[in-house]
Amino acid sequence: MTKQHSHQHGHDADHVHDHNHNHCIDTALATAETLCLEQGQRLTKVRRRALELIWESHRPLGAYQLLAKLAEEGFNSAPPTVYRALDFLLAAGLIHKVESMNAYLGCAHADRAHKGYFLICDECHNVMEFDYQDIHAALIAKAAKQGFELRAETIELTGLCADCKAQATDAHAVGTSA
């Protein structure tokens, strides 16, 4: 299990970070540049900035949220701009799409091929990416047994994260109304 961002555990958007998130962003961007260079891909201004903005968000970011941020900075504000950037970043494995949220998330492990498996909190909407080789292998085997050739996996688990569960318990114990 890998927490996507180690700071992604707050319960409200204004939660104070307990580490320098700039480090995460810098690392992700450096990886992105290396990968694009290796693969002869061009990490253009808008693609690079889109990736940064996705990383700067503490939650999966919707396409139009991202588009608005890009527009604020002088980039073209029409939808194809953002979808092209997202398509590029997805194809490069630099971000994942969370299907059940229609939102996009930076991947901290873009340098190694993998499927994105996610734990999504219903309460705080934080998302953790996790890695589970056992499940991946089991799914491939299961599919193969049906003659099905697996190409992609959408594994999105929702529920209550540890922090939100603790908070709910606390509130109950104290007898908080509502």
List interacting residues with DNA (CB under 7 A).
Answer: 41-42, 44-47, 62-65, 75-76, 78-81, 83-85, 87-88, 97, 102-103
| Contact with a second copy (CB under 8 A) among 151, 173, 174, 176 | 151
Contact 110, 92 (CB under 8 A): yes
Q: Binding of a second copy at residue 2 (CB under 8 A)?
A: no
Hey, which residues between 132 and 161 contact Zn ion (CB under 5 A)? 161
Select 55 or 60, whichever has its Cβ closest to DNA: 60
C-alpha distances (whole Å) from 85 to each of 1, 82, 136, 178 are 28, 5, 28, 43
What span, in angstroms and rounded, lies between the C-alpha atoms of 150 and 144? 8
User: Rounded to the nearest 5 degrees, what angle is found at the Cα of 64, between the Cα atoms of 90 and 108?
Assistant: 35
| Contact with Zn ion (CB under 5 A) among 105, 124, 127, 128 | 124
Q: Binding of a second copy at residue 172 (CB under 8 A)?
A: no
Q: Which does 123 bind (CB under 5 to 8 A by kind): DNA, Zn ion, a second copy, none?
A: Zn ion
Contacts of 163 (CB under 8 A, 6+ apart): 9, 10, 11, 124
Following DSSP, what letter does each residue of 23-45 receive, concatenated? Answer: HHHHHHHHHHHHHHHHTT----H
By CB under 8 A, name the binding residues for a second copy.
1, 99-100, 119, 121-122, 128, 130, 132, 134-135, 138-139, 142-143, 145-162, 165-166
